[in-house]
Amino acid sequence: MIDAQWDILLLGGASGLGKSRAAAELAREAGAFVVEFDDVVGAVQAITDVRTHPDLHHFNRPDTTPPSPDRELELQIATATALEPAVVGVVSNRLTVPVPAVVEGDYITPAAAGRAIRAGAAAGRRIRAVFLHEDDVAQVVANYAEREPEHGHQTQRAEVGVRYSHWLADQAEQHGLPVVACRPWHTLTTRVTRAGTPRTVSSAR
């Protein structure tokens, strides 16, 4: 059993990198729950609409023309930014429960993670955040093909995902948060566990 040394672990990263699998292994090692932030996103979207919360519904609009890769990346970042209060809300709720949790999701930003870490420190709780990173488009395409074979080769989705991964990594560096390469897979959870967290998290945006 690994001593996780955290009450809540935020595990961020782009889609298709293996976050869910890593989160499950980390939770098993630490005796923790897994909270999939995608479930929270779905709940938030279900009780809002595009008129009142447009940044939460960029990918739910009945557009006939798919966005360009540049525009898709912009919309992904806008959606993640709009969801930052929800990340902090999930962490605040978990702070009331004396059981460790791994919160994983595509829309966890370093800015939100920094806010959550500071809130946890103020409450005397140990919150960590680690962001997974992959810069090989072919690898992400292969990951999607294994996970969702019915959709074929999702090259554009993978390309946007890798660009989003770079954005998250750059933001994590600005906020003093660790970034861990996804490969090699067999050492990923060990490297996430060992990834250091600074004593003071930057409040930069």
Give SS3 for 82.
helix
Q: Let me know: does 123 contact 95? Beta carbons within 8 Å.
A: yes
Measured CA to CA, the distance from residue 145 to residue 60 in angstroms comes to 23
Q: What is the mean pLDDT of residues 62-82?
A: 89
What would be the CATH architecture of the domain defined by 8-194? 3-Layer(aba) Sandwich (3.40)
Is the predicted pLDDT of residue 38 greater than 90, yes or no? yes
Class of residue 116 by CB neighbours under 10 A (exposed 0-12, middle 13-18, buried 19+): buried
Measured CA to CA, the distance from residue 75 to residue 96 in angstroms comes to 33
pLDDT confidence tier of residue 4, bands split at 50, 70 and 90: low
Measured CA to CA, the distance from residue 106 to residue 184 in angstroms comes to 20
Measured CA to CA, the distance from residue 13 to residue 104 in angstroms comes to 8
Is the predicted pLDDT of residue 195 greater than 60, yes or no? yes
Is the predicted pLDDT of residue 87 greater than 50, yes or no? yes
Question: Which residue intervals of 123-202 are DSSP H helices?
Answer: 137-147, 155-174, 188-194
Q: What's the pLDDT at 2?
A: 44
